[in-house]
Amino acid sequence: MQNFPGVGVSPGRVIATIRQMPKPVSEPPLGEQLPAGVTPEDATAALKKAADAVHDELKARADRASGDGKAVLEATALMAKDTMLIKGAAKLIAKGSSAERAIWESGASVSEMLHNLGGYMAERATDILDVRARIVAELRGQAAPGIPASATPFILVAEDLAPADTATLNPDIVLALVTSGGGPQSHTAIIARSLGLPAVVAARGVDELADGTEVYVDGAAGSVVVEPGDTERAAAEGWATTASLLSAFTGKGETADGHHVPLLANVGGGKDAAAAAELGAEGVGLFRTEFCFLERDTEPSVEEQAAAYKGVFDAFPGKKVVLRTLDAGADKPLPFLTDATEPNPALGVRGYRTDMTSPGVLQRQLQAIAQAAAGSEADVWVMAPMISTAAEAADFAGMCAEAGLKTPGVMVEVPSAAVTADSILREVQFASLGTNDLTQYAMAADRQLGPLAGLNTPWQPAVLRLVKLSVEGAAAEGSGKPVGVCGEAAADPALAVVLVGLGVNTLSMTARSLAAVAAVLKTVTLDEARDLAQLALSASDATEARLRVREKLPVLEELGI
C-alpha cells in the first residue's frame, strides 16, 4: 500500500480509479518545418483528419451535455472545421511549415480577428485557441487538454485547477480532487468545497500515478492511498452515513448560549446563490463577481452585468447580499483588465487597483450594481477587494455614494489594511476579512504553490493576530461596524469557532460547509470560543494551533470532519 500524504481541504472519503488531467499543450517551436519525407499534401491530410477527430470528440461531448454547456460545446465543435482556420494552416503547410506550427499560427490569427470584431465574436476568441490546442494534441498523439471526458466516475488528479476549469467539471462524474500542487487556499480547494467534493492538495508524487489506478482519498485527513484495503473500504462506506448527518442546517448560526453568528454563503453567480438559499444560508457574504466573466475578453455591458447581479439578489429577497467588485488579477485573471506580462501578478495591479489602469470599469460596475439593486429586494452591500490604505477606502466609498449605493465596505486581505483597520473603517460601513489572500501576504507564500502549503494556512498565529487587530480596529472606531470573514478559514469548522472567539460578526463560506460549521459552533459557548481563540493565538505555530483547538472539540471526531 502506497500513501501520498497531502493537505486535506474538503472532507469526504471515497475509493475510485484516477484520471490524470493532461498537461497543457506546449507551443510548437517557431519556424518548425515539415519533417523530412512528409509532403505538404500528407501533412494537410493529417491536419484535416486531426481536426475531424477533435470535432467528433467535442460533438459527442455536446450530445451528452445539457443546457448552456451543450450549446458551448456544439459551437466549439464546429470551430474545429472552421474553413478559415484550416485553409490558413494549409497555406502555411504549403510553404513548408509543420502541421502543428501551421495550425498554431492560423489559430492565433483567427483568434485575433475574432477579438477585433468585439462583442459576441470576441467571446469566441479563446475557444479557437482551445480548439487549436486540441488539434495539436491530436496530431502529437497526446491526450486532449482539459478535464478528461468520461462516462464513468473517477477521481481527478491534476497539478492544480484554475477557476475556468470548473466550467466543465461535472460533480456526478468527478468524485474527488487530488492535486500535487496548490495550497489550502488555492482555487482547487475552493472549487472542491463549493461542489462538496473530497479533496487533497499538495500530495507530491500523485502526478506519477497511472490512469486507472485505484485510490482511497480522505479529504479531512489529507491522505491518498493506492491499493486500498479493508480499512479504507469500510471508511469510505462509513462516510456516506456521516455525510447525511451533516446535511441538516436549520438556517441560523449560533453558539450553545445563543450568540447569533449569521452564516452566509460565498457565491459566483445566480445558480450558486439559488443553491445556497436552498441550503439555508442567511444571505451572501461574498459574491465573487469576476466569476461571472472569467471567460470574457471584453468588458461586459452594464445591462449584462446588471442581469448577472440581479440573478443573485433575487435568490435572497430581504436578506443581505455582499457583492465584491471585480477582483481581476493573479489567480483570477480577466483578459480585459489584467496585464498578463506583469512579473509578479499577486503583488501587481489586481482587485481595486485596476481602477488606476482601466479607469471607468469600476464606475460602470457600480452603476450596474445600483441598477440591479433598484429592481430587487435584497439588502445590497458592496465591497472592494485588495484595499491597502484608508485613502483607497475613502475613494471607493465616494464612488459608491455617486452610484447611489449606501453600504460600502472593504475586504481586508492586505496586512496593511488589518493593521490600519481603525482608519479604514472610519471611511466605510463594514469590513470582510479575505483570509486566503491575507494569509498569502502575511506569510509571503503564494497561495497557489503546493510546497508552501504548510506556511499558507490561516491557522498561522500571525494571521490570527491580524484578524484580532482588524476586529479591535473596528471596535476602536467606535460605532460597531461589522467585521466578517469570507475567506476559506470560515469553512473550517474548528477555525470558525476560533474566529467567532476573536470577535468576528459573520462567517461566509461555500454553502456546502454551512451545516458542518453550524453543527460545531452550536457545541461551544461564546466564552469557550474566546478561550479557544486564546489557545490558538498563543500557539507557537499553525500545526500546534490547529491541534490544540481540535483537541478541545470532540464533536469534530464524532462527525469525521
> Which residues contact Mg ion by CB under 5 A?
413, 434, 437
- Smallest gap from Cβ 472 to ligand PEP, in A, equals 20
- How does DSSP classify residue 32? P
Q: Which of 297, 413, 427, 446 binds ligand PEP (CB under 6 A)?
A: 413
CA distances from residue 192 to 165, 178, 302 in whole angstroms, order as listed: 12, 10, 31
* 506 touches ligand PEP by CB under 6 A: no
Q: Output the DSSP codes for 226-240.
A: ES--HHHHHHHHHHH
> Closest CB to ligand PEP among 13 and 350?
350
> Closest CB to Mg ion among 299 and 437?
437
- Catalytically annotated residue among 187, 259, 292, 400: 187
- Smallest gap from Cβ 549 to ligand PEP, in A, equals 20
Known catalytic residue at 292: no
Answer with the entry of Mg ion, ligand PEP, none that 130 interacts with (C-beta below 5 to 8 A by kind): none
Q: Which of 158, 267, 469, 486 binds ligand PEP (CB under 6 A)?
A: 486
- Smallest gap from Cβ 485 to Mg ion, in A, equals 12
CA distances from residue 122 to 115, 317, 365 in whole angstroms, order as listed: 4, 35, 20
- Smallest gap from Cβ 439 to ligand PEP, in A, equals 8
Answer with the entry of Mg ion, ligand PEP, none that 435 interacts with (C-beta below 5 to 8 A by kind): ligand PEP
Matching residue, cell 472606531: 477
Residues in the chain: 561
Number of residues engaging ligand PEP in binding (CB under 6 A): 10
Whole-angstrom distance, CA of residue 246 vs CA of residue 236:
16
Known catalytic residue at 260: no
Matching residue, cell 455536446: 62
**Contact (Cβ atoms closer than 8 angstroms) between residue 222 and residue 206:** no
Answer with the entry of Mg ion, ligand PEP, none that 286 interacts with (C-beta below 5 to 8 A by kind): ligand PEP
Would you report the helix, strand and coil content of the chain in percent, each value rounded to 5?
A: 50, 15, 35
* 193 touches ligand PEP by CB under 6 A: no
* 268 touches ligand PEP by CB under 6 A: no
In the chain the first and final C-alpha atoms are separated, in Å, by 24
Whole-angstrom distance, CA of residue 500 vs CA of residue 485:
10
CA distances from residue 474 to 41, 285, 321, 466, 468 in whole angstroms, order as listed: 72, 18, 21, 12, 10
Q: Which of 371, 436, 505, 513 binds ligand PEP (CB under 6 A)?
A: 436
- Smallest gap from Cβ 383 to Mg ion, in A, equals 11
Q: At 138, is the secondary structure helix, strand, or coil?
A: helix
Whole-angstrom distance, CA of residue 502 vs CA of residue 31:
60
Q: Which of 138, 160, 327, 492 binds ligand PEP (CB under 6 A)?
A: 327
439-443 CB contacts, 8 Å cutoff, 24+ apart: 439/185, 439/463, 439/487, 439/489, 440/185, 440/346, 441/346, 441/413, 441/414, 441/415, 442/415, 442/466
Binding letters toward ligand PEP, positions 296-325, x by CB under 6 A: ------------------------------
- Catalytically annotated residue among 55, 292, 400, 486: 486
Amino acid at 33: Q
> Closest CB to Mg ion among 413 and 427?
413
> Closest CB to ligand PEP among 122 and 286?
286
Q: Give residue 60's Cα distance to chain centre.
A: 28
Whole-angstrom distance, CA of residue 313 vs CA of residue 322:
10
Q: Which of 115, 124, 193, 288 binds ligand PEP (CB under 6 A)?
A: 288
- Smallest gap from Cβ 325 to Mg ion, in A, equals 12
* 286 touches ligand PEP by CB under 6 A: yes
The pairing of beta strand 379-384 with beta strand 263-267: unpaired
Answer with the entry of ligand PEP, Mg ion, none that 486 interacts with (C-beta below 5 to 8 A by kind): ligand PEP
Report the interface residues with ligand PEP, using CB under 6 A: 286, 288, 327, 413, 434-437, 486-487
> What positions carry a catalytic annotation?
187, 486
